[in-house]
């Protein structure tokens, strides 16, 4: 028997209700904040991500799914931000109002070692706001993310924030980290010894205990920030405070993608083990310019839906709780039944029927399993009288009703 690709997941009918609920809540909250949906392709040019995420990042070095028939020219998108920046410029969205609030929901792909909460195909609910560098926007984005958390019935989450500063500040931080960490080179894990040379920021969020001790001893603060960036970061913190959003400033928080500058943030949850980040985001003030566009800021975040679902106590809606289930007895009734079903569905009444010509008892069981609110029984006798027997499953009462009246009755 064929099996699914490791690190992918079949989302089965008994789970899709929770997915739909989470997605519906997200769409609703995005529209409260005046965001509009964008859908970009799942395949993109590999060079787009190589250039923008950074050739030394883990995603580009190890995690991209190449499509080989195109000589490695295309990849399955590993994240959404870069695709949206590409689309923003390609479709001249910068030439209309310039400022735009976009959201997206869809699958992302990373060639990872699968484990709980870490998949090769996972899903993002994310947003990007392009066109402003204002600190109040950072506050809006974090408060929007928090509102979603609350609506997803997720408790015990933490909001961690930091500022990487402008590119000059980042450069200064990178140099000072290199100098400080060089002396402990031998005590760092093998991965971090390599990172010291080509991806120094990743040393800061290494999970290895020895590395964490060394990083802690650096007592990082906001010393690398220039006055403008420090001011921006203070404004963000004050804005969050004024909305009573509880957060922690975590100087080690750097995020693994090159495009970030200034504010970065992460939402973590205590029950998720080592993959505790449910969502993350930050500013990318140079990204649009680097892609050949104007010098305008951007900020966004993405939640991992699979991790959201692990942390959320939300239940799936039962969309079929008004289901009408038709049981026909005999061939003539079956043909007449198809017409009744058609009539119900055209009137917006969810309905289904027993397609297996089961006995009445077995078909009633199937109706019950399907969660039907009403069962219609149509046999030769009913047909002669032009009626159906209507059983209300909520109180087990049964009565006859004329076929003409049926739709009107069930719509009430």
Among residues 128 and 382, whose Cβ is nearest to ligand HAM?
A: 128
SS3 374: strand
CA dist 370 and 377 (Å) reads 16
Which of 220, 278, 333, 367 lies at the binding interface for ligand HAM (CB under 6 A)?
278
**Does residue 322 contact residue 297 with C-beta atoms inside 8 Å?**
no
Which of 9, 27, 50, 118 lies at the binding interface for ligand HAM (CB under 6 A)?
118
Looking up tokens 């239940």, which residue turns up?
315
Among residues 289 and 318, whose Cβ is nearest to ligand HAM?
A: 289
Among residues 119 and 148, whose Cβ is nearest to ligand HAM?
A: 119
Residue 340 engages ligand HAM in binding (rule: CB under 6 A): no
Contact region with ligand HAM (CB under 6 A), list: 74-82, 168-176, 336-344, 375-383: 74-82
Instruction: Give which of 121, 126, 156 is closest to 26, Cα–Cα.
Output: 126
Among residues 188 and 254, whose Cβ is nearest to ligand HAM?
A: 254
Residue 281 engages ligand HAM in binding (rule: CB under 6 A): yes
Among residues 115 and 402, whose Cβ is nearest to ligand HAM?
A: 115
Closest chain position to ligand HAM (CB): 304
Contact region with ligand HAM (CB under 6 A), list: 113-121, 166-174, 360-368, 386-394: 113-121
Residue 131 engages ligand HAM in binding (rule: CB under 6 A): no
Instruction: Give which of 410, 227, 403, 244 is closest to 324, Cα–Cα.
Output: 410
Q: How far is the CB of 261 from ligand HAM (least distance, A)?
A: 11
Q: How far is the CB of 256 from ligand HAM (least distance, A)?
A: 7
Which of 23, 94, 112, 140 lies at the binding interface for ligand HAM (CB under 6 A)?
112
CA dist 306 and 211 (Å) reads 29
Tokens of residue 376, six digits: 């219609």
Residue 52 engages ligand HAM in binding (rule: CB under 6 A): no
For ligand HAM (CB under 6 A), the number of binding residues is 24
76-105 residues in contact with ligand HAM (CB under 6 A) are 79-81
Which of 131, 165, 279, 293 lies at the binding interface for ligand HAM (CB under 6 A)?
279
Q: How far is the CB of 362 from ligand HAM (least distance, A)?
A: 42
Among residues 122 and 233, whose Cβ is nearest to ligand HAM?
A: 122
Which of 30, 122, 149, 152 lies at the binding interface for ligand HAM (CB under 6 A)?
122
The secondary structure of 51-114, three-state, reads HHHCCCCHHHHHHCEEEHHHCCCEEECCCCHHHHHHHHHHCCHHHCCCCEEEEEEEEEECCCCC
CA dist 400 and 389 (Å) reads 4
User: Could you tell me which residues are beta bridge partners of residue 157?
Assistant: 269
Q: How far is the CB of 237 from ligand HAM (least distance, A)?
A: 19
**Does residue 101 contact residue 129 with C-beta atoms inside 8 Å?**
yes
Interstrand relation of 248-249 and 263-269 (parallel, antiparallel or unpaired): unpaired
DSSP state at residue 118? B
CA dist 99 and 298 (Å) reads 9
Sheet holding 43-45, edge to edge: 43-45, 74-76, 65-67
Contact region with ligand HAM (CB under 6 A), list: 114-122, 168-176, 229-237, 349-357: 114-122
CA dist 280 and 267 (Å) reads 6
Residue 54 engages ligand HAM in binding (rule: CB under 6 A): no
Q: How far is the CB of 380 from ligand HAM (least distance, A)?
A: 56
Instruction: Give which of 252, 198, 208, 212 is closest to 61, Cα–Cα.
Output: 198
Which secondary structure element, helix H or strand E, spans residue 342, and what is its range?
helix 331-346
285-304 residues in contact with ligand HAM (CB under 6 A) are 300-302, 304
- Contact residues toward ligand HAM (CB under 6 A) are 79-81, 110, 112, 117-119, 122, 124, 126, 128, 277-282, 300-302, 304, 306-307
């Amino acid at each position: 028997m064929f099996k699914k690709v490791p690190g992918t997941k079949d989302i089965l009918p008994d789970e899709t209700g929770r997915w739909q609920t989470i997605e519906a809540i997200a769409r609703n909250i995005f529209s409260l904040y005046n965001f509009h949906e964008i859908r970009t392709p799942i395949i993109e040019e590999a060079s787009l991500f190589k250039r923008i995420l950074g050739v030394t990042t883990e995603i580009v070095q190890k995690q991209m799914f190449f499509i080989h028939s195109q000589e490695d020219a295309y990849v399955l998108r590993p994240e959404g931000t870069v695709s949206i920046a590409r689309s923003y410029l390609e479709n001249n969205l910068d030439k209309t109002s310039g400022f735009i609030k976009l959201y997206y929901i869809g699958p992302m792909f990373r060639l990872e070692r699968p484990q709980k909460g870490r998949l090769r195909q996972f899903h993002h609910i994310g947003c990007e706001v392009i066109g402003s560098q204002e600190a109040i926007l950072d506050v809006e984005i974090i408060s929007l993310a928090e509102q979603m958390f609350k609506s997803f019935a997720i408790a015990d989450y933490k909001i961690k924030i930091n500022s990487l500063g402008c590119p000059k500040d980042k450069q200064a931080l990178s140099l000072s980290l290199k100098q400080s960490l060089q002396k402990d080179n031998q005590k760092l894990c093998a991965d971090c010894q390599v990172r010291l040379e080509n991806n120094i920021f990743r040393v800061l969020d290494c999970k290895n205990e020895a590395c964490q001790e060394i990083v802690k001893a650096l007592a990082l603060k906001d010393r690398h920030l220039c006055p403008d960036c420090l001011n921006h970061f203070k404004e963000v913190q004050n804005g969050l405070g004024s909305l009573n959003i509880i957060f922690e400033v975590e100087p080690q928080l750097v995020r693994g993608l090159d495009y970030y500058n200034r504010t970065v943030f992460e939402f973590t949850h205590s029950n998720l083990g080592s993959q505790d980040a449910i969502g993350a985001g930050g500013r990318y003030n140079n990204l649009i310019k680097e892609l050949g566009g104007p010098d305008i800021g951007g900020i966004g975040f993405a939640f991992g839906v699979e991790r959201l679902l692990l942390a959320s106590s939300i239940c799936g809606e039962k969309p079929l709780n008004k289901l009408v289930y038709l049981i026909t007895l005999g061939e003539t009734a079956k043909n007449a039944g198809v017409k009744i079903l058609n009539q119900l569905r055209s009137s917006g009444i969810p309905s289904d029927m027993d397609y297996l010509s089961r006995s009445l008892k077995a078909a009633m069981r199937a109706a019950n399993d399907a969660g039907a609110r009403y069962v219609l029984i149509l046999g030769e006798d009913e047909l002669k009288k032009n009626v159906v027997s209507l059983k209300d499953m909520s109180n087990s009462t049964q009565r006859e009703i004329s076929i003409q009246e049926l739709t009107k009755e069930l719509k009430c």
